Homo-oligomer: A and B are copies of this chain.
Amino acid sequence: MTTSNNLFQFEIEAAEGNARAGRFHTVHGDVITPIFAPVGTQAAMKGGITTAQLAEVGANLVLANTYHLHLRPGEDLVDELGGVHQFMQWHGPMLTDSGGFQVFSLAQMRKVDEDGVTFRSYIDGSKRRLTPESAIQIEEKLGADIIMAFDECAEPYDHRYSLAAMERTHRWAVRCKAAHSRTDQALFGIVQGGIFPDLRQRSAEFIAELDTPGIAIGGLSVGETKQEMHTVLDQVNQVLPMEKPRYLMGVGSPEDLVNGILRGVDIFDCVLPTRLARHKAAMTMTGRVNLLNASNTRDPQPIDPECGCYTCQHFSRAYLRHLFVAKEPLGGTLVSIHNLYTLLDLVRRCRAAIFEGRFTQFASDFLANYRV
């Protein structure tokens, strides 16, 4: 447990080039960076993964989605039951997004105005509304350690729309900061601006100026190329203050983690490890493995003989393939465990390499061996 005098400070313990290894202090313990945050969308991991199993794969920071929890079971119920940590029984650091991304990407019939967004619930069709103030109020009731400002995530290639969305995101960020009252939560502002250097520059400057305890980079991994993502990261991270943690939202393939850390990112989240597992694909340090491939039918080897996860320490590819063919949910569970472990092991290795001054070489070797 951290003491209040360093709450929400980010200690950079080691750095190499733009890459950093650090600790962000929260009341539920330190976020140890660089880190990948598994996503428990509805306050539950997909694939039947328990929080005990999350701890076993080495999770540290865990994310839940404000949009989904607002619609079901509702923030009042979560609050009444002691907040999201108690509700889902994750006692380490937690993060909630603001619902902005889901409202703009998932919500039916959304209508944006200066004050907020009106949309229909995908569950019962009821009319709902989120504003910067109500999003913060919901996040305060959910009670995560890190909460996000309510932003507008635009389609990345439309300069006119990206400009308007970015400017609204800035006005909303100011309102979010004014609305936020819980001192045990860190509010992060979000940099937007699509793929446009002029917009990203302005947005990074504006959000840096807002002086939130951490800063997120939004609007990436939404259709742009890897090169475009890297250009944005290079540019934004030159502007952002060194002493604040940087969170790249919704990004989580192994090569994206390494490329992000190379460019100064500290925190990542993504549904990819559990989603891929449901689709019978395993992540490895050298690329993806489709477990349904006939080549795995009689293979007594694990997914990755060098992996230390529960799944690789026990189960053959042949068994995992059998589970998928037989439609046994255990297949998705075991491969989720492996995929989560792989990403968490990767960020641990990156962190160790930064401490030892060999991260540039590590990243270069990793990316050379990785088949996208």
> Measuring CB to CB, which residues of chain A are less than 8 angstroms from any residue of chain B?
42-52, 68, 72-73, 77, 80-82, 87-89, 297-298, 300, 310, 314-316, 318-319, 322-323, 325-326, 328-334
Contact = CB atoms under 8 A, between A and B. Distances in A.
A81 B318 contact: yes
A319 B46 contact: no
Given A42-B322, A48-B332, 17 more contacts: A42-B326, A43-B319, A44-B323, A44-B328, A46-B328, A50-B310, A50-B330, A73-B297, A73-B322, A73-B326, A77-B297, A81-B316, A81-B319, A87-B318, A87-B319, A89-B314, A329-B329
A54 to B, nearest CB: 11
B89 A325 contact: no
Nearest to A328: B44
A47 B333 CA distance: 9
Contacts of A72: 322, 325-326
Contacts of A44: 323, 326, 328, 330-331
A329 B77 contact: no
Copies in the complex: 2
A322 B84 CA distance: 13
Q: Give the 8 A-B CB pairs with smallest separation, nearest first.
A: A48-B48, A48-B333, A44-B328, A48-B329, A44-B330, A73-B322, A42-B326, A89-B314
Nearest to A82: B300
A138 to B, nearest CB: 16
B325 A73 contact: yes
11 contacts: A44-B331, A46-B328, A48-B329, A50-B330, A50-B334, A73-B318, A73-B325, A73-B326, A77-B297, A81-B319, A89-B319
B298 A48 contact: no
Given A72-B325, A89-B315, A81 B300 contact: yes
Main secondary structure of the interface of A (DSSP, over half): helix
Contacts of A82: 300
Contacts of A49: 330
A50 B326 CA distance: 16
A323 B51 CA distance: 14
B330 A48 contact: yes
A135 B209 CA distance: 75
B48 A322 contact: no
A89 B45 CA distance: 24
Of A51, A300, A333, chain B has the most CB atoms within 10 Å of the CB of: A333
Contacts of A330: 44-45, 48-50
A50 B329 CA distance: 10
Nearest to A45: B330
A48 B52 CA distance: 14
A329 B44 CA distance: 9
A218 B77 CA distance: 48
Of A80, A82, A310, A319, chain B has the most CB atoms within 10 Å of the CB of: A319
Contacts of A329: 46-48, 329, 332
Nearest to A314: B89
